[in-house]
């Protein structure tokens, strides 16, 4: 049984005080759910939010990291800095990072390997553009992202990896992939993992859907056979919506 996993990706939203306010509204309420709940907050708020989460079930994630431990990389944040804070998860390869900050499958792979080395679980994002879907290439693109991103990652490491399928055309647009479209791609990703790692591993890896998930559609999305959770942007920024997502059952 794969435990459902709902992660809020706050993107570049919330000051430290706003972040603390939001987590205090939700942190003690997520435990009544059968879901692993995560907030992926901006770097500036990580330390303060971590203190607020002490003794609660709500997990903490970063939205990016560099793969090196330290060095001349102005403006970057390293895995060692994140482990000192006590971050549980890190989003790697979000489409906004690929699109605006030049991330490639190669840098995604370096970041995944580095996160695993420092005991931070990566949430690895993959997904196609609208143009790629319309030209019928979506499965090839997503398979390539999965295979390249997971190069030299062992079967045992796969236990600590979450994959998020986020069709780019559905992120922040209000358009969601239909439940069947999302499930079909996620089943395809699971099959790709099966080819690489075998059935046992592919059965265990949790794969989320992301793209305009909100309280009104979470239940239908989560009822699909291969979808294990959601990576949520906009709808994770309000405490009442985030709680509704976590308590979708
Ligand atoms: C995301 O940020 O990963 C995302 C899916 O955003 P939204 O839910 O706003 O579409």
pLDDT digits (tens, 9 = 90+) for 202-226: 999 999 999 999 999 999 999 999 9
CA-CA distance, 192 to 143, in Å (whole number)? 7
Tell me the C-alpha distance between 186 and 221, whole Å: 12
Mutating to test ligand 1, I would choose from 62, 128, 169, 171 the residue with most ligand atoms within 8 A of its C-beta, which is 171
Q: List pLDDT tens digits, range 58-101.
A: 999 999 999 999 999 999 999 999 999 999 999 999 999 999 99
Residue nearest atom 7 of ligand 1, based on CA coordinates: 233
Q: How far is the CA of 113 from the centre of ligand 1 (A)?
A: 24
Q: Quick check: helix, strand or coil at residue 158?
A: helix
**Among 231, 238, 244, which is best to mutate for testing ligand 1, by the most ligand atoms less than 8 A from CB?**
231
135 falls in which pLDDT band (50, 70, 90)? very high
Is 55 annotated for ligand binding? no
Q: Which CATH number is 5-246 given?
A: 3.20.20.70
ipTM, 2 decimals?
Answer: 0.97
Atom of ligand 1 nearest to the CA of 214: 8
Q: pLDDT digit string (tens) for 170-208?
A: 988 888 889 999 999 999 999 999 999 999 999 999 999
DSSP per position, 141-157? HHHHHHHHHTTT--HHH
Q: Residue whose CA is closest, atom 8 of ligand 1?
A: 233
Q: Which residues of 31-58 are buried (b: 16+ CB within 10 A; e: fewer)?
A: eebebbbbbbbbeebbebbbebbeebbb
pLDDT tens-digit map of 20-59: 999 999 999 998 788 999 999 999 999 999 999 999 999 9
Give the CA angle between residues 158, 60, 10 to the nearest 5°. Answer: 105
């Amino acid at each position: 049984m794969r435990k459902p996993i709902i992660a809020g990706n706050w993107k570049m939203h919330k000051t430290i005080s706003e972040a603390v306010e939001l987590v205090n509204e939700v942190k003690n309420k997520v435990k009544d759910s059968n879901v692993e709940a995560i907030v992926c907050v901006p770097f500036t708020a990580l330390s303060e939010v971590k203190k607020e989460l002490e003794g609660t079930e709500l997990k903490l994630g970063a939205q990016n990291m560099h793969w090196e431990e330290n060095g001349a990389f102005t403006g970057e944040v390293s895995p060692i800095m994140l482990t000192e804070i006590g971050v549980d998860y890190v989003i790697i390869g979000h489409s906004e990072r690929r699109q605006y900050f030049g991330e490639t499958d190669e840098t995604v792979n370096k970041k995944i390997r580095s996160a695993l080395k420092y005991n931070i679980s990566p949430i690895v994002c993959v997904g196609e553009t609208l143009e790629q879907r319309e030209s019928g290439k979506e499965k090839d693109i997503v398979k390539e992202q999965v295979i390249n991103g997971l190069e030299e990652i062992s079967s045992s490491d796969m236990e600590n990896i979450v994959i998020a399928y986020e069709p780019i055309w559905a992120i922040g647009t209000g358009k969601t992939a239909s439940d069947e479209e999302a499930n079909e791609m996620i089943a395809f990703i699971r099959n790709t993992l099966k080819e690489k790692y075998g059935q046992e591993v592919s059965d265990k890896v949790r794969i989320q859907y992301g793209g305009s998930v909100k309280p009104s559609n979470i239940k239908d999305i989560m009822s699909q056979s291969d979808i294990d959770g959601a990576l949520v942007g906009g709808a994770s920024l309000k405490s009442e919506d985030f709680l509704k997502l976590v308590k979708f059952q």
